Amino acid sequence: MKYDAVVIGGGHNGLAAAAYLARAGRKVLVLERRHVVGGAAVTEEVFPRFRFSVCSYVVSLLRPDIIRELDLPRHGLEILPLDGTFSPMLNGDYLWRVNDHAKTRREIARHSKLDAEAYDEYGRAMVEMARFVKPILAMTPPDPMTRNPRELLKLGALARRFKALPSRDRYNQLQLMTMSAVDFLDQWFETDVLKATMAASGIIGTFLGVRSPGTAYVLLHHYMGEIDGAFRSWGFARGGTGAISNAIAGAARAAGAEIRTGTAIARIRTRGGSADGVVLDNGDEIDASLVLSSVDPRRTFLGLLDPKELPSDFVADVRRFKLRGSSGKVNLALDALPDFRSLPGPGPHLRGAISISPSIDYMERAYDQAKYGEFSRRPYIDMVIPTLTDPSVAPPGKHVLSCFVQYAPYALAGGTWDQQRDAFGDAVIDTLAEHAPNIRDIILHRQVVTPLDLEREWGLSEGNIFHGELTLEQLFFLRPVPGWARYTTPVRNLWMCGSAAHPGGGIMGAPGRNAARRILGHAH
Amino acid sequence: MAHDVVIVGGGHNGLIAAATLARGGLRTLVLERSERVGGCAATDEIAPGFRVPALAHRTAIDSHVIQSLELERHGLRIVRPAAYACAPTTDGRALIIWADTERACREIATFSSIDAERYPAFLESIRRITVVVRSLLDASPPDLDALAPADAIRALRTGRQFRALGRTDAYRLLRWLPMAVSDLVGEWFESEPLRATVAADGVLGSFLGPRSAGSAAVMLLLAAGEGRPIAPGWMPRGGGGALAEALCAAAKQAGAEIRTSAAVCEIRVDDDGRATGVVLESGEEIGASRVVSAVDPRRTFLALIDPIHLPPEFRRRAQNIRMRGTLAKVNFALTAAPEFQGLAARALADRVAALSGCVRLAGSVDSIERAFDAVKYGTFSDVPWIELAIPSVTDDTLAPAGQHVASAYVQYVPHTLKDADWDHQREQLGDRVVDVIGRYAPGFERLIVAREVLTPADLEQRVGLTGGHVFHGELALDQLAVARPLLGWAQYRTPIKNLHLCGAGTHPGTGLDGRSGLLAAQAILTAP
């Protein structure tokens, strides 16, 4: 029997695409290689009774229209606020920003009165910028080389929107799109740890340093939440990040989509330059009028297709697409809570994100090491303790600590990641111990996820958590490949719907939604 | 007598603006702080009989300027190198990028036959792409708030040129502008000496490493003038000073008056926010109906103008213009030409020709990146990246017969050291440069008759480059075109009536090409 659409990969984007197609009455099948759906947005019981958001660990950008349209709360999605960011410093002090604006202002004033004032102005400016960018996330990028006047008009409209901005916003927008996070923040603030922690969001998942031009843009993402009317910045899903994927999967199933896990695909079947199904590892063939790939372009075009079936310049562009994973995860099962030298004892500062980003130079040095093929000996770490907001994921009294670690370059100068895995884990523990000396005594279990693991187990080529660097030359109408940013591919009836497509990675779900809407003719 | 225009600063842009304005019939006066005009275009005698290009050792004065000011009639003699760049290795080889493409390919082939095949295609792609870039550099950027019909026409023309590139090159242009030059060279070439030699153009004078996004744009901007990458430009016979003399002669002949040792300390602004003239350090006041500043925007707005005349927000933005210089200059008087191991096996004629351009001393792209790492923390690297020029190879007016002068661009060097001061570190930097050159040319230190080290701080002192930044402001995407020097003020105008800018801090600001001076003067002449 034949499906209207088969979706390769059951990550949040694949599932979202499937849900939208199924709701439109299409007969949809989602194929997931692993035993569980979710891709990198997954909760797994890594150690008995300890459930981890193994890869992606917080949610911030999940598009509100997806939550609404797919009615995700009805399918079990509950987002718990993640209150603030705690940044311990090496001098024994700390910076602790919370969602309560007045509190945060007082805290920043403790470091610098000027910064406390600039903080308001900064927040307002960023919200304005986010307003400008938000609609772009939901649009299909127009192709600047198109002959289609409709597309050109869309480009013109973008230019007009920019021109229509007040000159001050125009100025900020231009800077945000091109500057380094540090240069941008230097114009507003003087407190090193404040700038370092804010700048950190600009390099997450990207092989760039906080001083590298192009890193300022991501600062915006922290303000998207506000205009989405969702939580200001970050939140957890109750039950872990996997709960998001499960909710989307639930919506897809409810709409009639079929989801098969443990089903790996050998290749995409094509006939006469057009995709007409997939061939599974076990040799089974599945017929479908449309094939959607939510896996990254390298896997899709160089792995699941025979490059010979593709235009050579397209293949060259795919090979050139930068993946360059730069981060890893260390997941810890804890017997008790970490005790920070700078703010001892348990307390609300542990309920939010804890950011090991004590200074700009610290962040930049971490990058400098990675540039030449070593993991950072003193890495940037962004960690959360979900058990404080959602005790359901660990046995009573126990905790899970989820550490996002950068930099961990996929390509090592010496040795393999299998040889380096433990050394990497140790470097993370050593770094934590500088701030929370009790950490070594409270670790029950430790899981180290290297870029190589992300590639092998979760199918992220080169361990890139965004399916491809979020750098300007790989965004919008250049993502993933110039001329193919509209979810279509040179193979007829083969569509891209994953993070490698506009607008990119993060648990946004936008690529999956945009692709499905494009297929259904809702969007152009 | 009152002047129609006084120009603050007698650098190349100031002189070109002066000549153009004077030809336009305006009574023009140029005021230069130092005892000679030329700014970065200068020739100094650092030892009896040894005359070295004191600052820039390569210029790329725009052909429009050369023609319209008849600079060759005024004594400018352009010396074009037979080899754009020579990259000797420490293991006795050398990659020579000859001006002749076929010959260059034969050289490249000895490092990689694949690169040799790609090189001509690379040159062609850069040539086509820079046609579009060039058309942007050749015109004043539009004012987004008051688009004129001319802007629309120009936009359409550029748009057509862009589409005429065809998909491949058009997308390359879009991808390359925000990209890191290390990725660009990585896409084209496999041999490190070639990668490093090409990538160097993306970081020249900038606070950027080859891995920094935006470095590819710097390379394209500098390549746009001559439509070719790799050390574009040439040296005038007689060094940069000869260019200054030609420009000076052209300006004078056009009727401009030029005063040296006349340091402007203030630009006078009246109560209705109108520039009325300047005040010299001597106390002398000079009135003029227009003031044109060729010095960098930060110096102009923050040092020469009473804050009361500028909106606070504008001053804040001016303060935020990034101009962190990273280039130091080391000049040498030498008893003989350096003997590069890598060239030892070549015939004398080839050895000489190979050195007619610049010598780039970097083993790999990463070695340039490592040199960059240091400057981020306020120090300079043990192994700085060096571009050496030995102009006396092609110009016998610079040194006694058989002897030579050499000029080194040295990166990366901070304007301000973190925990030291330049008076104690300056000569250490010089020693490091000698040491690095010696690795490629053993015995180099024994050739030295005289040495002069100019740190970015010295460049600021001597030529007035704020932060020691040779481009009057980082060539970053947020400081180019409509945003150079500041978004909304890219038309050589300022918030102060009758005060204009014409220096490299304005569009296009791509080095020693004089476009800023020319475009500014044209804008002033056509202004209502």
For residue B374, give the CATH number of its domain.
Answer: 3.30.519
- pLDDT, tens digit, for every residue of A318-328? 999 999 999 99
- pLDDT, tens digit, for every residue of B170-200? 999 999 999 999 999 999 999 999 999 999 9
Q: Which range is least confidently modeled, A79-93, B115-129, B245-259, B487-501?
A: A79-93
Whether residues B120 and B197 fall in one domain: yes
pTM score: 0.95
ipTM of predicted complex: 0.94
Tokens of A423: 């050394």
Give the pLDDT score at A524: 47
Q: Each residue's pLDDT tens digit in chain A (524 positions)?
A: 799 999 999 999 999 999 999 999 999 999 999 999 999 999 999 999 999 999 999 887 888 899 999 999 999 999 888 888 999 999 999 999 998 889 999 999 999 999 999 999 998 888 888 888 888 888 899 998 888 888 888 888 988 999 899 988 898 999 999 999 999 999 999 999 999 999 998 899 999 999 999 899 878 876 776 555 543 457 889 999 999 999 999 999 999 999 999 999 999 999 999 999 999 999 999 999 999 999 999 999 999 999 999 999 999 999 999 999 999 999 999 999 999 999 999 999 999 999 999 999 999 999 999 999 999 999 999 999 999 999 999 999 999 999 999 999 999 999 999 999 999 999 999 999 999 999 999 999 999 999 999 999 999 999 999 999 999 999 999 999 999 999 999 999 999 999 999 999 889 999 999 999 999 997 54
Whether residues B406 and B447 fall in one domain: yes
Domain boundaries, chain A: 2-47+56-78+239-322+466-519, 323-458
Give the pLDDT score at A246: 97
The rounded distance, in Å, linking the Cα atoms of A290 and A301 is 16
CA B392 to chain centre: 21
- pLDDT, tens digit, for every residue of B332-365? 999 999 999 999 999 999 999 999 999 999 989 9
Chain B positions in Cβ-Cβ contact with residue A212 (cut-off 8 Å): 211-213
* Nearest residue in chain B measured CA to CA from A169: B487
**Chain B closest-CA separation from residue A179 CA (Å):** 7
Tokens of B278: 């300047």
B231 falls within a domain: no
The rounded distance, in Å, linking the Cα atoms of A33 and A10 is 8
- In this structure, how many other beta carbons lie within 10 angstroms of the beta carbon of residue B103? 15
Contact check, Cβ <8 Å, B145/A187: no
Nearest to A313 among B168, B176, B478 (CB): B168
Contact check, Cβ <8 Å, B478/A178: yes
Range of the domain at B290: 5-41+63-74+239-322+471-526
Whether residues B305 and B213 fall in one domain: no
Q: Which amino acid is at B353?
A: A
Measured CB to CB, residues of chain B less than 8 Å from chain A are 144-145, 163, 167-168, 170-171, 174-179, 183, 187, 208, 211-214, 313, 316-317, 320, 322, 366, 369-370, 373, 376-377, 476-478, 483, 487-488
Nearest to A212 among B171, B213, B313 (CB): B213
SS3 track for A321-362: CCCCCCEEEEEEEECCCCCECCECCCCHHHCCEEEECCCHHH
Q: What is the CATH number of the domain that holds B277?
A: 3.50.50.60
Contact check, Cβ <8 Å, B477/A178: yes
Whether residues B344 and B441 fall in one domain: yes
Residue B1: pLDDT over 60: no
Contact check, Cβ <8 Å, A471/B213: yes
* Nearest residue in chain A measured CA to CA from B367: A372
Residue pair B360/B96 in contact by the 8 Å Cβ criterion: no
Contact check, Cβ <8 Å, B488/A178: no
Using the 8-state DSSP alphabet, how is residue A141 labeled?
Answer: P
B249 falls within a domain: yes
B103 falls within a domain: no
Whether residues B333 and B315 fall in one domain: no
Contact check, Cβ <8 Å, A471/B211: no
Which residue in B174, B322, B479 has the most chain A C-beta atoms within 10 A of its own C-beta, making it the best mutation to test that interface? B174
The rounded distance, in Å, linking the Cα atoms of B518 and B73 is 19
B363 falls within a domain: yes
Q: For CA atoms B113, B115, B121, B127, give the dihedral sign.
A: negative
B408 falls within a domain: yes
Residue with tokens 């000027």: A114
The pLDDT of B15-38, averaged and rounded, is: 97
* Residue ranges in B284-421 assigned as alpha helix (H): 297-298, 312-319, 348-354, 365-376
Residue pair A434/A85 in contact by the 8 Å Cβ criterion: no
Residue pair A286/A6 in contact by the 8 Å Cβ criterion: yes
Homologous superfamily (CATH) for A2-47+56-78+239-322+466-519: FAD/NAD(P)-binding domain (3.50.50.60)
Kindly give, in sequence order, each residue whose CB lies less than 8 Å from that of residue A66, ignoring residues fewer than 6 positions away: A16, A72, A248, A509, A510, A513
B443 falls within a domain: yes
Residue B104: pLDDT over 60: yes
Contact check, Cβ <8 Å, A212/B144: no
B169 falls within a domain: yes
The rounded distance, in Å, linking the Cα atoms of B512 and A347 is 60
Give the pLDDT score at A138: 87
Residue with tokens 């127009």: A142
Chain B positions in Cβ-Cβ contact with residue A471 (cut-off 8 Å): 178-179, 213
Nearest to B376 among A211, A213, A477 (CB): A211
**Chain B closest-CA separation from residue A219 CA (Å):** 17
Q: Which of A148-162, A228-242, B137-151, B201-215 has the highest mean pLDDT?
A: B201-215
**Chain B closest-CA separation from residue A142 CA (Å):** 13
Please report which helix (H) or strand (E) contains residue A494, including its range: strand A494-496
Chain A positions in Cβ-Cβ contact with residue B176 (cut-off 8 Å): 473
DSSP characters over B377-391: TT---SS-EEEEE-G
Residue pair B386/B361 in contact by the 8 Å Cβ criterion: yes
Tokens of B417: 């050291």
The rounded distance, in Å, linking the Cα atoms of A361 and B377 is 7
Pick the last residue of a domain from B426, B454, B482. Answer: B454
Nearest to A482 among B144, B174, B322 (CB): B174
CA dihedral A415, A416, A419, A423 (to 10 degrees): 80
Whether residues B215 and B142 fall in one domain: yes
B463 falls within a domain: no
Angle at CA of residue A232, ends A228 and A238, nearest 5° = 95
